[in-house]
Amino acid sequence: MAQMELAVLDFIQEFFRNPFMDSLMPAVTSLGDAGFLWILLGLALLCSRKYRRTGAAVLLSLAADLVICNLLLKNMVARVRPCDLNPAVQLLIARPSDFSFPSGHTAAAFTSVFSLYRENNRLWKSVLVLAAVIAFSRMYLYVHFPTDVLGGVAVGWVCALAGQAVSRRLFPQA
């Protein structure tokens, strides 16, 4: 399986890598660093009476994502990163220090997308585009396998369900 996934990453390197993308992808991926952008989104929504429950759903979902993805799954699975298996690829960002599965950047991004979607917030469509580009950037930068990214999407869905369930109890009237 790893060989097939490395082939996908090598295809991305061969057909998409160019100076413009080499400067764009590190900037895109940095938008997902530490979930900062998604936390700001949740806080901004939380400050609005109209979107308070949506903001709570985003923030609670991100908290669940932190625990499930970064504290549990990454350490339980302990998957090496593709850049460790193929050190010939020149990294454009610092090598992440944690394990590869699932992609935390992708999980946080899709946690936010699914939280917005489940709360019927139209912003989900715009956030989906950004989340997809961030997820692609993780493969472009050779720090995640495709299944790491898919795992991040799945974690995002589960966390959004959990966050929404709690936010609906906290803000039933919203």
Could you read off the pLDDT of 17-34 as tens digits, one per residue? 999 999 999 999 999 999
Catalytic residue among 79, 105, 118, 138: 105
Over residues 112-152, the pLDDT tens digits come to 999 999 999 999 999 999 999 999 999 999 999 999 999 99
Residue length, the chain?
Answer: 174
Q: How confident is the model at residue 173 (pLDDT cuts 50, 70, 90)?
A: confident
Cβ neighbours of 133 (radius 10 Å): 17
**Global pTM value:** 0.96
What is the distance in angstroms between the CA of the first residue and the CA of the last residue of the chain?
46
Instruction: Identify the active-site residue in 144, 148, 149, 151.
Output: 144
Q: Which structure tokens are listed for 149?
A: 């990214």
61 exposed, middle or buried (CB, 10 Å; 0-12, 13-18, 19+)? Answer: buried
pLDDT at 115: 98
What is the residue whose two structure tokens read 């989900």? 124
| Span 143-171, average pLDDT | 97
Active site residue 144: yes
Structure confidence at residue 174 (pLDDT) = 62
Q: Quick one: CA torsion of 15, 19, 25, 30, rounded to 10 degrees?
A: 160
Helix %, strand %, coil % of the chain (to 5): 75, 0, 25
pLDDT on residue 103: 98
Q: Is 105 known to be catalytic?
A: yes
Taking phi first (over 0 means left), then psi (-120 to 50 degrees means alpha), and beta for anything else, what does residue 142 get?
left
Are 167 and 57 in contact by the 8 Å Cβ rule? The answer is yes
For residues 142 and 149, is the Cβ–Cβ distance under 8 A? no
Q: Which residues contact 146 (CB under 8 A, 6 or more apart)?
A: 5, 8, 9, 139
Q: What is the model's pLDDT at position 43?
A: 98
Distances (CA, A) of 88 to 140, 142, 158, 170: 14, 11, 36, 51
39-92: pLDDT as tens digits: 999 999 999 999 999 999 999 999 999 999 999 999 999 999 999 999 999 999
